[in-house]
Homo-oligomer: A and B are copies of this chain.
Amino acid sequence: MSRWGETTGRTTVDNAQLALLLEVSGTPKPGNVDRHRDLDDLRFEHLIAGAVGARSGLQCAAAGDSVGAAFEQAVSGMSNQQGGNTQFGCLLLLVPLIKAAATQSLTPDGVRSVVDATTVEDAVDFYRAFEHVDVAVDEPPADADALDVRRGSEVAATLRERGLSLYDIMQLSADPDDRLGDGNAREWVSGFERTFEAADSLVADEGPVGDRTARVFLELLADQPDTLIAINHGEATARSVSERAAAVDGDLAAAERLAEEFVDEGYNPGTTADITAAALFVALERGLEV
């Protein structure tokens, strides 16, 4: 069903679950829950439980279920804890990557084929997943109110009427008019460009995986403004948060101070954490040792 890692003895599903767990364990990841920090209503144990609950959906993806069905199953399982949305965005990236890995095509082209092949029913399942958990989302583009994810499975009729696949939905979110766009959707439409780059950084780096995770998170945050920060605090703040991450320049002691500041200021770069988790999965599949 899932292939076994060539070097680590772990299955693809094991690696996906381990990626979720290593992401939350990596520290310091300024502004996010990590091994050393909780947020007010979101604690480390919620993310641990989310990673356990999501596993059945990850297994569905490896077994060949559709992206939408596997994703909805993963989100449903993830939601069986009291912290709310823990890993919705991570799972949106992991599911197509798992499907690519399960068919020995974990490359930008391989995952591009997976997302290209998504259907209207995948989009319907994706919208249904929003009913399991509250997800922070931006206002839809002015002409796309009918596709507001907050309307959940009510949107199904519109999707079918317009023949919109899940890939189409991601394209709409990746580059909406003049706004920043959704960082996870951009991964979907770019062959997971930042994910694969970050995976290369993780593999090339040295030292404990927790430190590598922190450094790659800082690189990603410095590189592009975080979508979740932009949604919650505006694009100017998102850009300034990224500049502050860039100023740390990979120094984990300086990042510890930034972590205290971001938690105090309420800045939570959740989309950057999603891409970090996806990159950890790719790196584990490519032999990153723990």
Q: Which residues of A contact B (CB under 8 A)?
A: 8-11, 14, 17-18, 21-22, 25, 35-36, 43-46, 48-49, 51-53, 55-56, 77, 80-82, 208-210, 289-290
How long is the Cα–Cα vector from A201 to B17 in the complex, in angstroms?
30
Which 6 pairs of residues, A with B, have the shortest CB-CB distance? A9-B80, A49-B290, A18-B52, A21-B48, A81-B290, A14-B52
Contact A290 B45 (CB under 8 A): yes
A sample of 22 cross-chain residue pairs with beta-carbon separation below 8 angstroms, ordered by A number, consists of A8-B80, A9-B77, A10-B49, A10-B52, A10-B53, A11-B56, A14-B52, A14-B55, A18-B48, A18-B52, A21-B21, A21-B51, A21-B52, A25-B45, A25-B48, A35-B36, A43-B210, A44-B210, A45-B290, A46-B290, A48-B290, A82-B290
Contact A45 B82 (CB under 8 A): no
Residues of B within 8 A of A49 (CB): 10, 18, 290
How long is the Cα–Cα vector from A181 to B6 in the complex, in angstroms?
41
Query: Of B18, B22, B45, which contacts A208 at CB under 8 A?
Result: B45
A22, A25, A36: residue with the most chain B Cβ atoms closer than 10 Å: A25
A8, A51, A80: residue with the most chain B Cβ atoms closer than 10 Å: A80
Contact A10 B44 (CB under 8 A): no
Query: Given A22-B48, A48-B25, is A9 in contact with B210 using a C-beta cutoff of 8 Å?
Result: no
How long is the Cα–Cα vector from A209 to B81 in the complex, in angstroms?
12
How long is the Cα–Cα vector from A269 to B81 in the complex, in angstroms?
30
| Chain B min CB distance to A8 (Å) | 6
Residues of B within 8 A of A82 (CB): 289-290
How long is the Cα–Cα vector from A85 to B210 in the complex, in angstroms?
19
Who on chain B is nearest to A38 by CB?
Answer: B208
Who on chain B is nearest to A55 by CB?
Answer: B14
A8, A21, A51, A52: residue with the most chain B Cβ atoms closer than 10 Å: A52
| Chain B min CB distance to A156 (Å) | 24
Residues of B within 8 A of A46 (CB): 290
How long is the Cα–Cα vector from A56 to B59 in the complex, in angstroms?
12
Residues of B within 8 A of A18 (CB): 48-49, 52
How long is the Cα–Cα vector from A35 to B35 in the complex, in angstroms?
6
Residues of B within 8 A of A35 (CB): 35-36, 44
**New A-B pairs, 10, CB < 8 Å, besides A11-B56, A45-B290:** A9-B53, A14-B52, A18-B49, A21-B48, A25-B45, A25-B48, A35-B36, A43-B210, A45-B208, A45-B210
Residues of B within 8 A of A210 (CB): 43-45
Residues of B within 8 A of A290 (CB): 45-46, 48-49, 81-82
